[in-house]
Amino acid sequence: MEIEIIFIPSSTPKVFKNATSVYTKGDLLCVRDGDLIFKYPLMHVFSVVHAHGPHLGSAEERKSR
């Protein structure tokens, strides 16, 4: 999935084209991209944008099984 993170002190968003998951762990926003996990302090994140579609555990995903 493609994810765009906009940070408070920056005007240029960070874009992940092939992220496999996004989650929070404590005070960190974690993005898994391949074998790497990028961790950003939530206090620096202004917004996170991603396309919403069927995902693991969603009603749409259960219907497709």
Q: Which amino acid is at 56?
A: L
pTM score: 0.73
The whole-number pLDDT of residue 30 equals 94
The whole domain housing 14 covers: 3-63
Contact (Cβ atoms closer than 8 angstroms) between residue 44 and residue 6: no
Give the largest Cα separation in the chain, rounded.
43
Report how far residue 16's alpha carbon sits from residue 47's, in angstroms, rounded to the nearest whole number.
14
| CA distance from start to end of the chain | 20
Looking at residue 56, its pLDDT comes to 62
How many domains in the chain? Answer: 1
Instruction: Specify the pLDDT at position 51.
Output: 75
51: DSSP letter: -
Q: What residues in the chain have per-residue pLDDT under 50? A: none
The C-alpha angle 53, 38, 24, rounded to 5 degrees, equals: 60
